[in-house]
Every structure is written in structure tokens, then in C-alpha cells.
Structure 1
Amino acid sequence: MNADDIRSWSPVCSIDDILPDTGVCALVKQRHVAVFRVQGSGDRLFAIDNIDPKAGASVLSRGLVGSVGDRVVVASPLYKHHFDLRSGECLELPEHSVAAYPVRVENNTVLVAV
């Protein structure tokens, strides 16, 4: 049995509901999750906690997507801290890092495992 066998995948939305280089918020198993669709060489999807740890507000899905060096990040709309979309690490304040979650697409539906 591998990790995918024991994870519970939850549907979030259609891939077409997420505009390129933006995020959406979803409630997945009582967690506020931000799901991002990043364009480049093909669409890439990322999922992290949506709550900004410094502010306590559910806003990360509304942040600006970009890069810092080779890291794909979202900048919080409140304090402008950058969160690595692969790991959830806060670049400015690592103690404010958030969880990152596996995300995939099946039959045009975005699924997140929390």
C-alpha cells in the first residue's frame, strides 16, 4: 500500500474555475485551503493552508503568485510575506510557515488530500 492508497482526496473545483496564476479557497475537511494554478511549461497546481499565520485571516488564495529565485511563491495580501507553494515555507519568517498538500487533477476536477 502506498501513500496515495491511504490519502483521502477531496474534490475542490473544475480546473477551469482557477484562472492561470491565481488561487481559489476551499474548505477541505474543516481546513481553509488555497489552491493555485501556475502557468509556465504547462499548468502546475499547488495547495497550501489559506490562513495567513501572522494575521489569522483566510487570505493567502488572494495573494500575488510569482517567484523568488527558483521558488514559486504567493505573497500574502496583508503582510506581503512570501510562501513557497511547494513546501508552505514562509521565506521571511520560517516560524510562520503553513502546511502544503498534495493536489492533482482527474477528469478536469481538482482534488486535494488533507
Structure 2
Amino acid sequence: MSSAIAAKTMTQTWQILCTRADLVPYSGVAAWVETPEGPAQVALFYLPGHAQELYAIDHHDPFSNANVIARGIVGDLKGQPVVASPIYKQHFRLEDGQCLEDESITLRTWKVSFKGDEVWIEA
């Protein structure tokens, strides 16, 4: 997967992350994104055919303290797309990062979009 290219930006906060060809439908991939606080690991999920096709949330699982969220199982709970952590199986809503088993835990999310075949993320 491509790393973020800071020189090619839509605005000062948007950056190219990868291309559509780097994504796996109905699955996650991990990527690095440059943020003002420094680099961060992102779990990027591509759900073709859904109203919102692209989601980006923290790759770090706070329950296992491991960077594994992109390897989780994507599914649907109560009409909302979620990912189940591959270690302890907590479910996180892809839309807002909220853990369904523990309301005190929320993963960070980023705005992402396609611009042609490029995937852009707002850091």
C-alpha cells in the first residue's frame, strides 16, 4: 500500500492515502497517515454498494493494545456497519468508532473519500 504523499494535497488537511486497487472489498487494510501529532495507523474499510463505501478508524485496539483492527471481521449489527476486533471480538461502529460492548471506548475516525481511483483522507 502507498504511504501518504504530503506534497499532493487537496487542501492543507487532506492527503492521498492509497488507490482503489490497494483496497480489499468488505475487508480492512492498514495504512499510515500523517497527522499534526505525527504518524498514525489507520484501518481503512471498503464496502462497495453501501451508502457510505469508505471508512477509516484507528488501527489500534485498546483492549488488546495491538494494532489489529484492519484484520477484524466486517459485519452489520442493528443496521450499522461494524468491525469485530480479531483478538477479543469487541465490535466498533465504522461510522463513529464507538465500541458496542463498552460505551466508554471510541476509536478515532477520519473522513475519507474517493477522488477518481485515489483514496484521500483528512488528517
Give the TM-score of the pair, scaled to structure 2. Answer: 0.82
Larger helix share, 1 or 2: 1
Superposed CA RMSD = 1.7
Q: Which runs of 5+ in 2 are unaligned?
A: 1-9
2:16 paired residue among 11, 16, 35: 11
Once the two structures are TM-superposed, the CA of residue 13 in structure 1 deviates from its matched residue by: 1.1
Q: Hey, which bits of structure 1, 4+ residues long, moved more than 2 A? A: 39-43
Contact in 2 for aligned 1:23/1:35 (Cα 8 Å): yes
Corresponding residue for residue 106 of structure 2: 97
Residue identity over aligned pairs, in percent, reads: 36
Contact in 2 for aligned 1:13/1:110 (Cα 8 Å): yes
Relative to structure 1, the CA distance from residue 16 to residue 78 in structure 2 (aligned partners, 3 Å threshold; closer, same or farther) is same
Give the TM-score of the pair, scaled to structure 1. Answer: 0.88
Structure-2 separation of matches of 1:56 and 1:28: 19
Q: Which runs of 5+ in 1 are unaligned?
A: none
Corresponding residue for residue 86 of structure 1: 95
SS in 1 for 2:104: helix
Corresponding residue for residue 60 of structure 1: 69
Once the two structures are TM-superposed, the CA of residue 7 in structure 1 deviates from its matched residue by: 5.7
Number of residue pairs aligned between Structure 1 and Structure 2: 110
